């Protein structure tokens, strides 16, 4: 009970501290989501229905991943540099709750962009979605994993390096991941890398949740995703607990 209360209070602290930037942040999220759909649409011209469906169901994953993998580490890096993290670590709050509250904040922030991305995609390409009942928990898992990986990155790396790495990751996610196009288009070695990376399972899970008639996710992918989530959360929690 106290844990929930403390998590909500911490989330409130983070939310209010960012309050001046929050509206802008949400706008940027929405923009990224819409731009992915429309931009890729321009790249591929007037796509056939399967390609269009692929694109429209990949866009929300891109939003979720960029929030988790970019925003989370950048804010953690910032709070390291400005000294908030050290101060927070002196509070009588279990270490895991910092992680929980940050994940909560980022998941909530990612939602508007994601929803709008889906709607715009469906309208632009005139596709039929078939939403699975487990879409919401699936989205949470994806969002948590992305944020946990980002958090772990920023916990382990020094701030400037963390910022660089996350910027590179966005590039990888946008262009070199099987999110907006099928994996078969990538060179074999990259396909193999993605079999073990969390990005493809994330895309598959969201895709299957949005259009369950057309797509599904294999048990193996789901397992890869869950393992990533656990390992990243554990690493971040360990880093928060570390004493120099």
Interface residues with another protein (CB under 8 A) are 2, 5-6, 9-10, 12-13, 16-20, 79, 82-84, 86-87, 89-95, 243-244
Nearer to another protein, 88 or 162 (CB): 88
Q: Report the b/e string of 172-194 with b at 16+ CB within 10 A.
A: ebbeebbbbbebeebeeebeebb
Nearer to another protein, 20 or 188 (CB): 20
Q: How far is the CB of 81 from another protein (least distance, A)?
A: 10
Whole-number Å distance between alpha carbons of 204 and 141: 12
Q: How far is the CB of 100 from another protein (least distance, A)?
A: 14
Nearer to another protein, 49 or 234 (CB): 234
Q: How far is the CB of 244 from another protein (least distance, A)?
A: 6
Nearer to another protein, 18 or 191 (CB): 18
Asked if residue 66 lies in contact with residue 173, where contact means CB atoms within 8 angstroms, the answer is yes
Give the residue from 33, 60, 50 showing the smallest Cα distance to 182. 50
Whole-number Å distance between alpha carbons of 8 and 104: 9
Q: How far is the CB of 87 from another protein (least distance, A)?
A: 5
């Amino acid at each position: 009970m106290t844990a929930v209360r403390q998590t909500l209070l911490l989330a409130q602290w983070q939310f209010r501290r960012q309050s001046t930037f929050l509206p802008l942040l949400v706008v940027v999220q929405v923009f990224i989501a819409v731009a992915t759909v429309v931009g890729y649409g321009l790249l591929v011209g007037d796509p056939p229905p399967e390609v269009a469906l692929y694109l429209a169901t990949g866009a929300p994953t891109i939003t979720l991943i960029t929030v988790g993998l970019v925003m989370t580490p950048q804010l953690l890096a910032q709070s390291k540099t400005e000294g908030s993290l050290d101060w927070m670590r002196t509070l009588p709050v279990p270490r895991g709750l910092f992680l929980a509250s940050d994940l909560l904040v980022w998941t909530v922030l990612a939602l508007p962009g994601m929803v709008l991305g889906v709607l715009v995609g469906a309208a632009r390409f005139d596709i039929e979605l078939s939403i699975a009942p487990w879409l919401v928990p699936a989205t949470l898992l994806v969002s948590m994993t992305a944020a946990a990986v980002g958090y772990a990155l920023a916990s382990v790396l020094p701030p400037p390096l963390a910022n660089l790495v996350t910027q590179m990751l966005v590039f990888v996610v946008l262009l070199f991941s099987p999110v907006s196009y099928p994996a078969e288009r990538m060179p074999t070695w990259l396909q193999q890398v993605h079999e073990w990376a969390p990005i493809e399972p994330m895309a598959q899970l969201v895709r299957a949740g949005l259009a369950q008639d057309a797509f599904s996710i294999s048990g193996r992918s789901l397992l890869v995703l869950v393992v990533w989530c656990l390992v990243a959360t554990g690493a971040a929690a360990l880093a928060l607990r570390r004493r120099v």
